[in-house]
Chains A and B, each alone.
Chain A
């Protein structure tokens, strides 16, 4: 049962990466909006994420409540060891969301619009890096090692060695850069489908291809650093029985995504890009299983009592019955059969 719930956590994280991640990626392209269609690019991004970003954001909250209900020791352990990057990530989340709302619903004048747009874009750029840094720190096994020290020896070590160096290393930064590239890649690919205008679509096609290169470079970097910095995950990714299949599938979806972008098959590209990102995430999870925080805390050793887990699964099933139709409705309303009237979405 605990394994089933850990699997749900992975699915929720996956949904957050594919949906919420793309919203952050949208902010990245707001930051890098260039050329004659700069304003149109920004308008498309705002229109694409406006109705859905708050719902997409809730996937992260679901991961959090799931962790602290079903794996309380994991949640409190991560919160202790990753206090600083998590706090920074929260500041990014707060500024991104607030600035986006201020820009959408506040004064329509140029000055405030530009300033809030700037805050929105910069926060969108930094938050994914911090999320990646946290995941990298978990994968490296150093979070788990530090927790042992904190729990056993109290506060003997220096502040930096306990609360900074576990998450600040070339490897974690490479994972942060990989997360950023992936989110930007997803966003640009989705936006090629959502753009009504052929030129705008080309803008995002070029951006998607550039991001694909960035994904390739950062993934290569992260994998090579993983050998020395995250040996367990690295070994899993190389030596496991499932590893060759995973690599083949990931490579196929990556090549398919690029080929589809190249040949302008937008919808195929969107599916392939999402598949590629999903496989990367699942590869990490599979390489780390059964550990939630390697090298000490496993799914089994940190699971809440059975009664709590069973109730959580029941609540999850009931929640899914209500929420999945609602989410489908939201996305059908705003993402399929797009209306070709500018501003049809806005309340003013």
Chain B
């Protein structure tokens, strides 16, 4: 493995690991404050129990998110000093603002987790809401930085160096709006369905369990609207990519040739040597219609750019197909849940629905991983699209496979531990059944 590939792999592992925890940090506080608000309003102690148990899980996940985020802030330099040297002054701003947002998040999470007995009920909910708001703000700023790497603005190149640096213009980069929208919706959808899936699975064992019934409803309140709206945001994203990063769109769609009335390909494996995508279901004019809202629009294929500027096409195409397939499943499931709720059916009693919810549990997170693969691998071979190649940004230190393996091993270990701790937490949930009145003693 060469040094550039090792560095890219280490960055992929670090981002892929961190994003799971970051997403939970964005959405979980929303679930917690809904549960807490319901407890305050109804006096139903089961909601308090729910808020406290979710807070426990969130505390573990947030801590791992905080430290794995620190790793990334250093790795930007450790692995890509060339990038930071070039881009620091242009795009350091959103990273700094992210630092402030993260500060607020950490402060109010401390208040929320340890302040149950110390502050007024209102102050406690406000602290929770501030965690949720600053979590979303952190995501917003980090995604702006990533958007800039896709559509760099706010500077002029002179002899290979940036001049006329304008950090505000850099933050208003064209890719920012759709990336932020897509990421935030993804965070709420993925977390909502992940939590709903866990409790749905428990409800398959006993659909009258009072704890899991309440948990399911609150989780779906967050997950369902986001999942239903997400395809619209996906459409906006695709059109932006089609306009600003044609090679990325071509790789996503396996579109090798520039043509008008390009078909939409479902599935299939791009064959780079033969320059065609095999075994895909092709919907005539579909891609032109989706990308430009015109069935005869010209879609620029990979042949529009030199071969050395192609991203790894099969990875991008397959990751995109996975994202779309799983996202569609979540959106349809969301519609099903919405219909059943509107018809005032008892959701937990519907075993088929609960099965569908239970298997959805990991899907949102897989979607997010696939989506980031599309964004990041689809930008290659550039670290700053059209401006700096990834290979030119890497550190001169040789032997990068060693830190890659060390960090990967560390994260595998932590991932297993976290999964086990959460499993343990879920398995010790209260077992009171609906209508039994008293709460069963709970082992803490």
Q: Given that A304-B165, A348-B56 are contacting pairs, would A98 and B63 also be in contact in the complex, using a CB cutoff of 8 Å?
A: yes
Contact B116 A347 (CB under 8 A): yes
Contact A68 B92 (CB under 8 A): yes
B115 proximal to A (CB < 8 A): yes
Chain A residue at minimal CB-CB distance from B444: A348
Chain A residue at minimal CB-CB distance from B14: A90
Q: Which residues of chain B come closer than 8 Å to A340, judged between CB atoms?
A: none
The interface bits of chain B over 385-413 (1 if a CB of A lies within 8 angstroms of the residue's CB, else 0) are 00000000001111100010011001000
Tell me, in angstroms, the Cα distance from A345 to B403 when the chains sit together.
Answer: 38
Contact B93 A107 (CB under 8 A): no
A62 proximal to B (CB < 8 A): yes
Question: What is the interface residue range for chain A against chain B?
Answer: 35 or more
A34 proximal to B (CB < 8 A): no
B167 to chain A, nearest CB (A): 5
A235 proximal to B (CB < 8 A): no
Q: Which residues of chain B come closer than 8 Å to A96, judged between CB atoms?
A: 67
Q: From the candidates B68, B84, B116, name the one contacting A94 in the complex (CB within 8 A).
A: B68
Scan residues 76-111 of chain B and give those whose CB is less than 8 A from a CB of chain A. 76-78, 81-82, 84-90, 92-93, 95-100, 102-104, 106-111
B438 proximal to A (CB < 8 A): no
Contact B88 A304 (CB under 8 A): yes
Scan residues 70-104 of chain A and give those whose CB is less than 8 A from a CB of chain B. 70-73, 75-80, 83, 86-87, 90-91, 93-98, 100-102, 104
Q: Which residues of chain A come closer than 8 Å to B84, judged between CB atoms?
A: 68, 72, 75-76, 79
Contact B398 A305 (CB under 8 A): no
Q: Given that A58-B103, A87-B78, A347-B55 are contacting pairs, would A68 and B110 also be in contact in the complex, using a CB cutoff of 8 Å?
A: no
The interface bits of chain A over 32-76 (1 if a CB of B lies within 8 angstroms of the residue's CB, else 0) are 000000000000000000111011011011101110111111011
State the majority secondary structure of interface residues on B: helix
Contact A97 B395 (CB under 8 A): no
B158 to chain A, nearest CB (A): 13
Scan residues 95-132 of chain A and give those whose CB is less than 8 A from a CB of chain B. 95-98, 100-102, 104-108
3 shortest A-B CB distances, which residue pairs? Answer: A69-B92, A72-B88, A79-B77
Residues of B within 8 A of A (CB): 52, 55-57, 59-60, 62-64, 66-71, 73-74, 76-78, 81-82, 84-90, 92-93, 95-100, 102-104, 106-111, 113-119, 165-168, 395-399, 403, 406-407, 410, 414, 417, 421, 424, 444
Question: Could you show 17 A-B contacts with beta carbons less than 8 Å apart?
Answer: A51-B114, A54-B106, A55-B103, A61-B73, A64-B74, A75-B81, A94-B71, A95-B410, A101-B60, A105-B421, A107-B424, A312-B96, A315-B97, A319-B100, A329-B107, A333-B118, A348-B56
A sample of 20 more A-B contacts (CB under 8 A), given A72-B85, A87-B74, A105-B57, is A51-B110, A55-B110, A58-B103, A61-B69, A61-B70, A61-B73, A69-B93, A77-B81, A93-B67, A105-B60, A106-B60, A155-B396, A305-B89, A308-B165, A312-B92, A326-B108, A339-B118, A346-B114, A347-B113, A348-B444
Residues of A within 8 A of B (CB): 50-52, 54-55, 57-58, 60-62, 64-66, 68-73, 75-80, 83, 86-87, 90-91, 93-98, 100-102, 104-108, 150, 154-155, 159, 162-163, 304-305, 307-308, 311-312, 315-316, 319, 322-323, 326-327, 329-330, 333-334, 339, 344-348
